Amino acid sequence: MSVKLKVIGYLAHKDTLGEIEAILGRIDNVVLSMHLQGGGWSLKSIGDEELPDIIIHEIDGDREEDLQALEKILLEYPDKVTVYVTYKDGDMETMRRLMKAGVRDTFPQPIQVQELVGSVTKVLSGKRVRLSKAKGGKGGVTSFMSAKGGSGATTIAMNVAEMLAHDFKSKVLLIDLDIQFGDVALLLDLMPGNNVMEALLQPSRVDPVFLKALITTHDSGLDVLASPADLSPMGGISPEGITHLIDAASELYDFVILDVPRVLTSWTMAALRYSDPIMVVGQNNMSTIRDAKLIIDKLAHEGVPTANIEVINNRAMAKEGSVPIEKLKETLGIERMHKATNDFKTSVHSQNQGQPLQDVSKGSHFTKDVHALADYIYVLQNGEHKKKGGLFSGLFSK
């Protein structure tokens, strides 16, 4: 299901209108409808037609009828319509009045691109989750990306996906977006007949039926959309292609897990903007932390909400890493951190045998940590635990 976000801009100045159009034009699935104040269109018409998801109103010499119309919308549709205001030399009186009425956020001019894109993206992902839940869907889209090559993003993504499918009895699709060096199929000992490029290069053909034909199923029940076996060029991949693919996947599956390569392009950004949470995987050492910081800042600049980003401190040692966890949170500006234990033996066995972690060593700390992550994502996106005494009881009893 392709979820569109309807955004109405109601601006006092042509320049602001152009600026907002240029900023929001970079988000896929946003449908803009822009109006100049005093130009014939009126906020009062809202409610008669289809409701917008967002209204962006510019404060400058506001007319009383507009303010009243905004107050009415905020009162009648507090959960459906998000109102933002932007201003240059905002009249404080008007600002206070609108904030009191329930305006979600204010954007002083010049508008900070990342802040506006981040806020709008957040509303879009909220709408996707709401609609998916309304249709009986369970989960959402989670991305894994390494902060530095070889941090363990693929290992954790793959095993979280396998556990969600097998232990949590959910419908899970793992998409290997590491187009050139993806190794999910190899690590799970699969022989895929088709791969993700077939979907990415033909966005208009992608629907649930087409998608199903490209998928390979692992013994655990996990469905995999593999990357190509050769070094395919990535030039033809578009943000639209990736969005269509995730749209179709979300329609079919409870959980969609993306293994995203560490390349920051328009299409990887589109994948990350679709995801909540985005798990950045790295080790606790200075050079990885520096790269993680660069990535997180760049993502924020591209409108990927920092609030959606979480960090997994992989290969953690018994002793604390080089940077204490509180310091790490502060440096990266990330609140939610997870830990996965260093375990060379289990990792190598799993890799060499083409088997998930829990099939080679169910009781290892690393396996348990990854299981805790699967549990975390299940609860985060599904909003509830499986019943006590159900699937988990005795899971790690060995």
Ligand X SMILES: Nc1ncnc2c1ncn2[C@@H]1O[C@H](COP(=O)(O)OP(=O)(O)OP(=O)(O)O)[C@@H](O)[C@H]1O
Distance of closest approach, residue 381 Cβ to ligand X, in angstroms: 22
Q: Which residues pair with 338 in a beta bridge?
A: 312
The residue (of 42 and 342) whose beta carbon lies closer to ligand X is 342
Partner whose footprint covers residue 152, from ligand X, Mg ion, none (CB < 5 to 8 Å by kind): ligand X
- The enclosing H or E element of 304 equals none
Closest chain position to Mg ion (CB): 154
Give whichever of 10 and 267 is closer to ligand X, judged by the CB atom: 267
Q: How far is the CB of 182 from Mg ion (least distance, A)?
A: 7
Q: Which does 255 bind (CB under 5 to 8 A by kind): ligand X, Mg ion, none?
A: none
Q: How many residues bind Mg ion (CB under 5 A)?
A: 1
Beta-bridge mates of residue 319? none
Asked whether the beta carbons of 83 and 57 are under 8 A apart, the reply is: yes
- Under the criterion CB under 6 A, does residue 315 sit at the interface with ligand X? yes
C-beta of 23 vs 316, nearer to ligand X: 316
CB of 258 to ligand X, least distance (A): 12
Binding residue (CB under 6 A) for ligand X from 82, 347, 364, 382: 347
- Angstrom CA distances, 331 to 48, 239, 314, 360, stand at 48, 30, 17, 36
For Mg ion, which stretch binds (CB under 5 A), given 154-162, 272-280, 312-320, 363-371? 154-162
59 binds, among Mg ion, ligand X, none (CB under 5 to 8 A by kind): none
Stretch that binds ligand X, among 60-68, 145-153, 188-196, 295-303 (CB under 6 A): 145-153
Nearest C-alpha neighbor of 369 from the set 395, 398, 344, 338: 338
Return the HEC string of 106-164.
EEECCCCHHHHHHHHHHHHHHHHHHHHHHCCCCCCEEEEEECCCCCCHHHHHHHHHHHH
CB closer to ligand X out of 56 and 260: 260
Q: Which stretch binds Mg ion (CB under 5 A): 92-100, 147-155, 160-168, 228-236?
A: 147-155
Find the binder of ligand X among 12, 46, 153, 357 (CB under 6 A). Answer: 153
Is the CB of 54 or the CB of 370 nearer to Mg ion? 370
| 154 near Mg ion, judged by CB under 5 A | yes
Query: Which helix H or strand E contains 59, and what residues bound it?
Result: strand 54-59
In this structure, are residues 170 and 164 in contact, taking their beta carbons and an 8 Å threshold?
A: yes
Spatial distance between the Cα atoms of 193 and 102, rounded to a whole number of angstroms = 53
H-state helical runs in the chain: 14-24, 64-76, 92-101, 113-134, 153-166, 184-187, 197-200, 208-213, 239-252, 266-274, 286-301, 325-332, 344-353, 357-360, 365-382
- Name which of 194 and 351 has its Cβ closer to ligand X: 351
Q: Using the minimum distance from each CB to Mg ion, give the nearer residue, 181 or 396.
A: 181
Nearest-10 Cα torsion for 157, 161, 167, 171: 170
218 binds, among Mg ion, ligand X, none (CB under 5 to 8 A by kind): none
385: Cα separation from own chain's centroid: 22
Cβ distance to ligand X smaller for residue 127 or 315: 315
Give least dist CB 394 to ligand X, A: 24
- 344 touches ligand X (CB under 6 A): yes
Phi-psi region of 354 (alpha: psi -120 to 50; beta: other; left: phi over 0): left
Amino acid at 240: E
Task: Tell me the longest C-alpha to C-alpha distance in the chain.
Answer: 72
CB of 206 to ligand X, least distance (A): 25
Interface segment toward ligand X; rule CB under 6 A; list 17-25, 143-151, 268-276, 386-394? 143-151
Residues 157-186 that bind ligand X (CB under 6 A): 178
Please tell me the distance from the alpha carbon of residue 89 to that of residue 67, in angstroms, as a whole number: 17
Q: Answer for the pair 33, 7: CB distance below 8 angstroms, yes or no.
A: yes
User: Residue 58: CA atoms inside 13 Å, Cβ hemisphere, count?
Assistant: 24
Q: Decide if residue 143 touches ligand X (CB under 6 A).
A: no
Would you tell me which residues interact with ligand X (CB under 6 A)?
146, 149-155, 178, 262, 281, 314-315, 340, 342-344, 347, 351, 366
Would you tell me which residues interact with Mg ion (CB under 5 A)?
154
